[in-house]
Amino acid sequence: MDKIQVLKPKYRTDEVLNEIKECLDTSWTGMGGKSIEFEEKWKDYSDLPHAHFLQSATAGLHLAVKIFKEKYGWEDGDEIITTPLTFVSTNHAILYENLKPVFADVDDSLCLDPDSVLDNITDKTRAVMFVGIGGNIGQYNRVREICELQGIPLIVDAAHLAGTKTSRVWTDFGAMRNAQVGWDADAVVFSFQSVKNLPTADSGMVCFKDKEDDKTARRLSWLGIDKSTYDRYNKGTYNWKYDVPDIGYKYHGNAIMGAIGLVQLKYLDEDNQYRNLLSESYDYYFNMLDLDTIEPIKNTLIGDSIHSRHLYPIRIKKGLRDFVMEELSERGIYCGVHYLDNTQYSMYNYAHGTCKRAHEISSELISLPLHLHMSNSDVRRVVEEIADILPEYDKDKSITRGLLGRAKK
C-alpha cells in the first residue's frame, strides 16, 4: 500500500521552472522583480488594498505587532488577546515585541470564542490576534465587531486562509462579490510556506489596511533603509545615499519565491475546490459510518462562502486519539495535530489551564491527510482504516456495504 502523507505540496513544475528561469536569465533573483509582480497579482486576486511580500508569515505577524505597537504607543507588558490553538508563530510574534499574549478560549470551530475574548479584555488589552484554523473562520465577524467597539486593531493570522472568502460584500462599484477573509482587518498575514495551501517554499504576505503601515512595513523589512527621500532628488545616481531611520530586519521576500507564487496563485481557486471535494468525501463517508467516536469540526462558513480547506481536522473521542494516530501510521497513513494547546509549551505555561475547551479539543484533534496528490479512493481508504481501528466498528456498516445497500434501493 502506498503511504499517504498528511500535507504534501503540489507544484506545476514546468511552469514554475519557466518563471524561475526568467529570474535567472535577467539576473533578478533578489528583492523586487517578480516579488513585486506577485504582490500586484495577490492584490488583484484578494482585493486587499496593500500587500508586502516577505520571507514568511512569521515575519509578517511580527511586523504587524511592531508597527501597531509604535503607531499606537503601546508599552511593554501590554496585552494582546490570542488563541492557544495555533502554530507558535502567532504567539511568538507578540513576545518579540515584549507584549503579553493573553489566551482566550476557542469554540467548536477551533477559532477564538468571542465570549471568551470579552472575558479577557482588561485595561491593558491593545489588540486581538485571530487565527482561521484550517480555513475555517468560526465567529470571526463577532470578534471583529468586538475590536471595533473596543477601538483596538484586529490582526488576522491567515496562514490557512488563502482563498477563504466570505459571502458577498459590496464593492466600490456597487457590484457584489466574494471577499477574501481579512479584508476588514487592520492587518492580515498569509503564509506561502511549503505545506500551506498556496505553497512556494518559504514566504508570506502582510496586508495592511492603512497605506502608511504598508510603507513602514516596506522600510522595516529591509533593515530600516529609507530610499524614498534620496530617490526623489537623485533619481538613482546616488542610490547608496539613503537614510536609515529605524532598526529594521531582513524580512523581505525575493523574486525566486515570487516566481513560484505567481504560478501557484493561478491555481489557488482550482486547488481549493479540489480540497473541498476531498473534504466532502470525508464528510460523506464519516456520515455514512456514523461512528460515536468521531466528531467532525463544524464548518461555520455559510451560503456562497468559500473554504480554503487547508486542513481536514476531526476529533477522536474516548481518549483514543493517540492510539488511532499510531495505528494509522503503522498502516502508512500519516496524520497531524493542529495544534497542541500552546499553554502546554514551556514558553506559555504561565497560562496553563486557562483555556479548558482548547485543552480538551487539542487532546482529541487529528488532521487527516488532505492534499492535491490524493484521490477519492485515498480518502475512502483513510476513513476505512480509521473505522477498522476503532473498537466500535461494525463491519456490517462498512462503506462498501453501505454503498452496496444504497445501490440496491
Ligand X SMILES: *Cc1c(COP(=O)(O)O)cnc(C)c1O
Helix axes 268-289, 376-389, angle to 10 degrees: 30
Member of 7, 102, 159, 320 binding ligand X (CB under 6 A): 159
- For the bound state, the minimum distance from the C-beta of residue 99 to ligand X, rounded and expressed in Å, comes to 17
**Burial (CB count within 10 angstroms: exposed 0-12, middle 13-18, buried 19+), residue 170:** exposed
CB 180 within 8 A of CB 164: yes
Instruction: Kindly identify the residues of this chain, within the stretch 298-337, that bind ligand X according to CB under 6 A.
Output: none
- Indicate the residue among 196 and 381 with the shorter CB distance to ligand X: 196
The count of residues interacting with ligand X (CB under 6 A) is: 14
- Indicate the residue among 162 and 291 with the shorter CB distance to ligand X: 162
> What is the number of alpha carbons within 13 Å of residue 407 lying toward its C-beta?
6
Grid cell digits, residue 336: 497531524
Show the binding pattern over residues 106-145: x = contacts ligand X (CB under 6 A), - = does not. -------------------------x--------------
DSSP 148: H
Contacts 24+ apart (CB under 8 A), 33-37: 33/255, 33/258, 34/255, 34/256, 34/258, 34/259, 34/262, 35/252, 35/253, 35/254, 35/255, 35/257, 35/258, 36/258, 37/258, 37/262
- Indicate the residue among 39 and 157 with the shorter CB distance to ligand X: 157
- For the bound state, the minimum distance from the C-beta of residue 292 to ligand X, rounded and expressed in Å, comes to 30
d(CA 254, CA 203): 9
Strand 187-191 and strand 204-208: the pairing is: antiparallel
Using CB under 6 A as the binding rule, whether residue 164 contacts ligand X is answered as no
Show the binding pattern over residues 177-216: x = contacts ligand X (CB under 6 A), - = does not. --------------x-x----------x------------
Member of 29, 56, 83, 342 binding ligand X (CB under 6 A): 56
DSSP 298: P
Using CB under 6 A as the binding rule, whether residue 35 contacts ligand X is answered as no
Member of 29, 46, 89, 300 binding ligand X (CB under 6 A): 89
Using CB under 6 A as the binding rule, whether residue 87 contacts ligand X is answered as yes
Member of 29, 82, 83, 86 binding ligand X (CB under 6 A): 86
Alpha helical stretches, state H, 235-320: 255-266, 268-289
Member of 90, 221, 264, 308 binding ligand X (CB under 6 A): 90
- For the bound state, the minimum distance from the C-beta of residue 336 to ligand X, rounded and expressed in Å, comes to 11
- Indicate the residue among 159 and 289 with the shorter CB distance to ligand X: 159
Q: Which residues make up the interface to ligand X (CB under 6 A)?
A: 56-58, 86-87, 89-90, 131, 157, 159-160, 191, 193, 204
